[in-house]
Structure 1
Amino acid sequence: MSSPLTADQIARVKATAPVFAEHGATITKHFYRRMFANRPELRNLFNQTHQASGSQAETLAHAVYAYAANIDNLAALGTAVGRIANKHASLNIRPEHYPIVGENLLASVVEVLGEAVDEPTLEAWRAAYAQLAQIMIGVESKLYQGAAWSGYRPFIVSRKVVESDEITSFYLTPADGAEACGFEPGQFVTVKRYVGELGVDQPRQYSLSDAPHGKWLRISVKRHGAPQGKEDVPPGRLSTLLHEGVEEGSIVEVTAPMGDFCLDRTKTTPVVLVSGGVGITPMMSMLSSLVAEGSTRRVAFVHACRNGRVHAFKTWLADTVAKHSNVARAVFYEDVTDADRAGIDYDFTGRIDFALIAEQALLPDADYYLCGPIPFMQFQRDALIGLGVDAARIHTEVFGSGAV
């Protein structure tokens, strides 16, 4: 167990926090290169697409800065620790990984900043990292204790269903014939596959897109193409592998459900589910669960996508709304095609505008769950707060790099 930081160490870490605001990405990019050179097996734990784009290094730099800036008031970090711990536990990050990360991160600070960091300041950062590692290991230990299983477990793809031009669902059943585990609606799993062109396993986290019922775990995966304007960044490797190379009967390795972006099933107040694109997946789990439980809670399902070709689950959603008077929908298409039917496939053109759906979606005491691209969630969160929604009632899910 690490010793508490001294007042001098706290002051030194806090005083050098601005260094990470200025040089953090340079340090963290150096860190990843250094760590993978020294411990190449750890490449199996990290998304190599995010490494290539630099987004993972930038996210780590922001996280280190936030920790340093709040070293004297860690409560200010809010839910960040729990969210990161859930991501780590889903990736099977273990206590033995923390010393490796610490050694390479602190060495990178010295190698990038040189004489700008004196020994007392470096020692303060060592102590600060040890404190952070202890916090994270403690939180993750509790998550592991409560998990349905430890590490990766083989699942059979029992069904594969095309949901739209971009999204395909995979129904996963335990290879040992046991029942699928329970989970909280909104949680995710990590799926691991070997990527031959990289020579490593690659993990990806996918929201569960169905209600917990013991029959299967369903993930619904968007096939990601190369980002526009970034020809040096390849298409989504694992999503391509799943779409093209994983058929019914295939075995995939899966970790236990994790995540703190969960529907609060103890409440009876209204629920507003707001999604963009493939962000619909955890909302499907939440709505499916409410319907399966026979809940009478008022539900507004607000979804945005380009058009009907990429709109997954649209028939199921329309049928659910028709059968349950407590469920309403507001679907926005930004690029309507001739095949899209107003009032059947979609309800509004353009982007989500809560002013148009205030009667459906701005509900007293409602909880708002947001999932989609980070800019989408930031915009929707700001719009809701601007309309008087309490920020404490707005919940977001983030995959990849970034935060809201």
Structure 2
Amino acid sequence: MLSEETIKVVKATAPILEEHGETLTRHFYKRMFSHNPEVAPLFNPANQAAGLQQKALAGAICAYAANIDNLEALGGAVELIAQKHVSLQIQPEHYPIVGENLLASISEVLGEGATDEVINAWAEAYGFLADILIGREEQVYSELAGVPGGWNGFRGFRIIRKDIESTVITSFYLSPVDGGELPEYKPGQYITLRVKGPDGYTTMRNYSLSDKPGQDHFRISVKRETGPGAGTPDGYVSNLLHAELGVGSELELVAPCGEFFLDVTEKHQRPLVLLAAGVGVTPLMSMLLSALEAMPGREIIFVHGAQDEKSQAFRGTVDALASQYPNLRVHYRYDEPAAAGADRSGSSSTGLVDAELIESLVPKRDADYYFCGPQPFMINIYHDLLAWGIPAAQVHLEFFGPRQALEKSAGQDVPEAQPEVSRCPVHA
């Protein structure tokens, strides 16, 4: 356990760190990549360029300092960070590198404020957290390797099929090169894909699995970045997949990980509501396919927001499921009006996926909500559900970005009970 003196000193630094948080984390990443370039492939360059990792880490440091005397409040964050670390193959030997550069950055940014007392307290606090994470990550590695078809490290896969799902999204079916079986992942989880980057180093990306578990392949459905984003780190891997890698191309994958998933063994009477926008539909497709099979009597409401029908993935699949399963209701929400006569079922409308639309589909509001999509969509849905008083245990989301962007948007206070966000603050 942490000493009382360490708790006191770390908590006292919280206001200072909040004031200088992003300056500190920008300095930290610059310093670490300069002193330890070998760890750079473990970090997403797109999030670095956009400043997302710096913001996420600043928020995490402040949260840790503010709650150092009540670490139970941060308990859920340990699991999401551990899952992300395992997906990137973070090992115990990486922790001293982060710790050394973080403590040096605190000293260099805070100057005279970084007394020996402060540095020693943060060294103890970091070591304490590192030990917790290392312990949990060892368990996750063991669990992944211990299930039938499971593995640790990177495993070779081959693209066996490519399906164009829309004007911007293509599905890639991946089969293990060794011909072995695959683990039965949880619907909503993601795999990590490693390829050689434009600078010669490897680069990794997380992609949600968009098919149901229990098959002889994995499927990811990737949106191709075009226009200004195509040449950025954010667009490199998506364009590589779409334009250069075809059937027969080989990739390296880490076993499925992730804290955002649907537990199909849970039995509830309340409706299951799946809300997606754009390519955020990918983990929800896995959930939908799994839920229809495992929960035959449960009402399922599926809502997908998209720019238009041409850019929307999986509409034909979802329409077919809706005609097959009477417990499934579907609604599509488009930015642009559908062509005349295009929607004869009346299952689509124009506008945003908002509280008014959701309430029209779920009049009693009481449901289990799973949602994924761009930040503005996520923020609006999150705050709408909080305003309705939906319990945190019924709100599940996959949010790509700093948690504080979700919680403190629009000047709203952060609620006491919050669902966890499935992203690591260091690696975002």
Report TM bin, short chain.
over 0.9
For the structure 1 residues 115 and 353, does the alpha-carbon distance in structure 2 shift closer, same or farther, using more than 3 Å as the test?
A: closer
For residue 249 of structure 1, report the CA deviation from its aligned partner.
0.6
Aligned residue for 1:155? Answer: 157
Q: Provide structure 2 residue ranges, at least 5 long, that are not aligned to the other structure.
A: 145-149, 407-428
User: Of residues 65, 68, 87 in structure 1, which corresponds to 2:65?
Assistant: 68
1:249 aligns with 2:222: no
After superposition, give the CA deviation of every residue in 1:313-333 in whole Å (9 maximum; x if it has no partner).
000001100110000011100
After superposition, give the CA deviation of every residue in 1:128-185 in whole Å (9 maximum; x if it has no partner).
0001101111111111111121011111111111111111111111110112221011
Tell me whether 183-192 or 108-117 shows the greater mean CA deviation: 108-117
SS for the counterpart of 2:85 is helix
The number of residues matched between the two structures is: 398
1:116 aligns with 2:118: no
User: Of residues 17, 25, 28 in structure 1, which corresponds to 2:25?
Assistant: 28
TM-score (normalised: structure 2)? 0.88
Correspondences of 1:369-384 after superposition (within 5 Å): 369-384=370-385
User: Of residues 82, 104, 107 in structure 2, which corresponds to 1:107?
Assistant: 104
Q: Distance in 1 between matches of 2:255 and 2:363?
A: 35
For the structure 1 residues 71 and 337, does the alpha-carbon distance in structure 2 shift closer, same or farther, using more than 3 Å as the test?
A: same
Aligned residue for 1:299? Answer: 300
SS for the counterpart of 2:356 is coil
Contact 1:308 1:336 in 2 (8 A): no
Corresponding letter in the other structure for 1:133: A
Tell me whether 90-99 or 35-44 shows the greater mean CA deviation: 35-44
Tell me whether 88-97 or 264-273 shows the greater mean CA deviation: 264-273
Aligned residue for 1:188? Answer: 190
User: Of residues 50, 53, 56 in structure 2, which corresponds to 1:53?
Assistant: 50
Q: Distance in 1 between matches of 2:34 and 2:243?
A: 31
User: Of residues 80, 94, 112 in structure 2, which corresponds to 1:97?
Assistant: 94
Q: Distance in 2 between matches of 1:362 and 1:151?
A: 47
**Percentage of pairs with the same residue:** 45
Aligned residue for 2:169? Answer: 167
For residue 343 of structure 1, report the CA deviation from its aligned partner.
4.4
Contact 1:340 1:346 in 2 (8 A): no
Contact 2:45 2:233 in 1 (8 A): no
After superposition, give the CA deviation of every residue in 1:358-396 in whole Å (9 maximum; x if it has no partner).
353355752111111223112112212323422320111
Corresponding letter in the other structure for 1:150: N
Aligned residues: CA RMSD:
2.1
Corresponding letter in the other structure for 1:58: K
For the structure 1 residues 20 and 259, does the alpha-carbon distance in structure 2 shift closer, same or farther, using more than 3 Å as the test?
A: same
After superposition, give the CA deviation of every residue in 1:290-314 in whole Å (9 maximum; x if it has no partner).
2334622210001111111111000
Corresponding letter in the other structure for 1:151: G
Aligned residue for 1:218? Answer: 219
Q: Distance in 1 between matches of 2:133 and 2:165?
A: 38
Contact 1:211 1:292 in 2 (8 A): no
Contact 2:87 2:191 in 1 (8 A): yes
Contact 1:226 1:234 in 2 (8 A): no
SS for the counterpart of 1:308 is coil
Tell me whether 214-223 or 318-327 shows the greater mean CA deviation: 214-223
Q: Distance in 1 between matches of 2:288 and 2:4?
A: 49
Greater RCO structure (CA 8 Å; 6+ sep): 2
SS for the counterpart of 1:236 is helix
After superposition, give the CA deviation of every residue in 1:190-241 in whole Å (9 maximum; x if it has no partner).
0011112x2211111111101012310111111124668xx99555111111
Contact 1:224 1:236 in 2 (8 A): yes
Contact 1:330 1:357 in 2 (8 A): no
Q: Distance in 1 between matches of 2:152 and 2:340?
A: 47
After superposition, give the CA deviation of every residue in 1:83-134 in whole Å (9 maximum; x if it has no partner).
1111111111111100010001111111112112110111000000001101
Contact 1:314 1:345 in 2 (8 A): no
1:77 aligns with 2:82: no
For residue 342 of structure 1, report the CA deviation from its aligned partner.
2.8
Aligned residue for 1:329? Answer: 330
Aligned residue for 1:263? Answer: 262
Q: Provide structure 1 residue ranges, at least 5 long, that are not aligned to the other structure.
A: none
SS for the counterpart of 1:332 is strand
For residue 287 of structure 1, report the CA deviation from its aligned partner.
0.8
Contact 2:359 2:365 in 1 (8 A): no
Contact 1:367 1:394 in 2 (8 A): yes
Q: Distance in 2 between matches of 1:306 and 1:23?
A: 39
Q: Distance in 1 between matches of 2:340 and 2:156?
A: 41
Tell me whether 365-374 or 179-188 shows the greater mean CA deviation: 365-374
1:142 aligns with 2:168: no
Aligned residue for 2:359? Answer: 358
SS for the counterpart of 1:186 is coil
Q: Distance in 1 between matches of 2:27 and 2:125?
A: 20
SS for the counterpart of 2:28 is helix
TM-score (normalised: structure 1)? 0.93
Q: Distance in 1 between matches of 2:358 and 2:52?
A: 35
Aligned residue for 2:179? Answer: 177
For the structure 1 residues 267 and 280, does the alpha-carbon distance in structure 2 shift closer, same or farther, using more than 3 Å as the test?
A: same
